[in-house]
Amino acid sequence: MKRIGMLTSGGDCQGLNSTLRGVAKALYEEYGKEVEIYGFKDGYKGLIQGEYRLMSSSDFSGILTIGGTILGTSRQPFKNMRDKDENGVDKVTKMIQTYNDMKLDCLVILGGNGTTKTANLLREEGLNIISLPKTIDNDLWGTEVTFGYQTAVDIATDVLDKVHSTATSHSRVFLVEIMGHGAGWLTLSAGIAGGADIILIPEIPYDLDAVVYELEERRRHGHAFSIVAVAEGAISKEEAKMSKKEFKAARAKMTDPSISFRLARELGERCSQEIRVVNPGHIQRGGGPDAYDRILTTRLGTGAARLIKHKQYGNMVAIRNNEIVAVPLSEVAGKLKTVPVDNDLVQAARDIGISFGDESP
């Protein structure tokens, strides 16, 4: 009998359920009644507290298109994993205990950067781990695409499309704040797909003068409206020069609710047009996966099942050159994949006249 545990950890995204389904269906196909799949509740929390349930094949039926995660999730910061409880036992020890008590053959972990770090820690402790790359931010090193990302691009693009019509009618500047944590992938792709005029991403610090200049230039050329796609992690050139400590202190003093509101205020003092902010927020993570993510998660999930079959533990299942591959967790953990400034997407955007607000007038 094979005993497999599964958990989803960190912020949710589209495609978690379809990934779980891919893993489970392939395992049931391969092993029939000779496999038991256990689902942990709310990510690592369930593993730490021993909260899990034996799943059945019907749990994985009808969930291909459903958003969120049937297992629940939680954020479990890596730095707290070694904190001891009142009995002097840390969380890592508890997780290992649960795994051993349950006599698991493998634990399948769906998550982003923080989750993958912890997955690697458990691997180092001798557990059989396979991870799957989840996040709308697409910032996981080792895979070209993470699941959830493409669906989030579709959603953010739809927001930009809708904003376009009202921006045009009112001749306004719209700042649309797009998620992505410290990476600009989501903003960059949605910005291109949604026809943004200016794209601000963390990897290319902006210059306020340049942004003002671009907006005014557009107006001078007869474009009464402008759409600015702003990554939530966008930073100014001044901020880019700061140390981490200085940056944190400066941001702590910021009274605006977010970067786009700050920009709206700063631009409002210098631009002649009316400015509005749109923040689609967690809607970008909501709902079910698009067709691309349904296919990707089915491939990644079944890839995980194949690794289990061949006992190739200690890997993250990834997609590279449109092939499903296994990447050692030791190579992935702790590495962020941000947008290279000479990336082809950046180049294509520049080629069609999209500004990154970095070229001083």
The annotated binding site for Mg(2+) is made up of 113
Least distance from ligand F6P to the Cβ atom of residue 167, Å: 24
Least distance from ligand F6P to the Cβ atom of residue 195, Å: 22
Question: What track of x and - describes contact with ligand F6P for positions 213 through 232 (by CB under 6 A)?
Answer: -------------------x
Task: Name the burial class of residue 123, with classes exposed (0-12), middle (13-18) and buried (19+) by CB atoms within 10 angstroms of its CB.
Answer: buried
Does 12 participate in catalysis according to the annotation? no
Q: Which residue's C-beta sits nearest to ligand F6P?
A: 179
User: Is 5 or 202 the residue whose CB approaches ligand F6P more closely?
Assistant: 202
Question: What track of x and - describes contact with ligand F6P for positions 8 through 27 (by CB under 6 A)?
Answer: ---x----------------
User: Which residue from 25, 45, 285, 299 is in contact with ligand F6P, where contact means CB under 6 A?
Assistant: 285
Annotate the chain with three-state secondary structure. Answer: CEEEEEEECCCCCCCHHHHHHHHHHHHHHHHHHHEEEEEECCCHHHHHHCCEEECCHHHHCCCCCCCCCCCCCCCCCHHHCCCECCCCCEHHHHHHHHHHHCCCCEEEEEECHHHHHHHHHHHHCCCCEEEEEEECCCCECCCCCCEEHHHHHHHHHHHHHHHHHHHHHHCCEEEEEECCCCCCHHHHHHHHHCCCCEEEECCECECHHHHHHHHHHHHHCCCCCEEEEEECCCCEHHHHHCCHHHHHHHHHHCCCCCHHHHHHHHHHCCCCCCEEEECCHHHHHCCCCCHHHHHHHHHHHHHHHHHHHCCCCCEEEEEECCEEEEEEHHHHCCCECCCCCCCHHHHHHHHCCCECCCCCC
Please tell me whether residue 136 binds ligand F6P under the rule CB under 6 A. Answer: yes
Least distance from ligand F6P to the Cβ atom of residue 183, Å: 8
Q: Which residue is catalytic, options 12, 137, 139, 290?
A: 137
Please tell me whether residue 137 binds ligand F6P under the rule CB under 6 A. Answer: yes
Please tell me whether residue 337 binds ligand F6P under the rule CB under 6 A. Answer: no
Please tell me whether residue 280 binds ligand F6P under the rule CB under 6 A. Answer: no
User: Which residue from 135, 150, 187, 355 is in contact with ligand F6P, where contact means CB under 6 A?
Assistant: 135
E-strand ranges in 193-322 read 198-200, 226-231, 275-278, 315-320
Stretch that binds ligand F6P, among 31-39, 164-172, 174-182, 301-309 (CB under 6 A): 174-182
Least distance from ligand F6P to the Cβ atom of residue 254, Å: 16
Q: Which of residues 83-122 bind ligand F6P (CB under 6 A)?
A: 112
Least distance from ligand F6P to the Cβ atom of residue 14, Å: 11
Return binding residues for ATP.
11, 75-76, 112-115
Please tell me whether residue 294 binds ligand F6P under the rule CB under 6 A. Answer: no
Return binding residues for substrate.
135-137, 172, 179-181, 232, 276, 282-285
Which residue ranges make up the site for ligand F6P (CB under 6 A)?
Answer: 11, 75, 112, 135-137, 179-181, 232, 285
- Residues marked as catalytic: 137
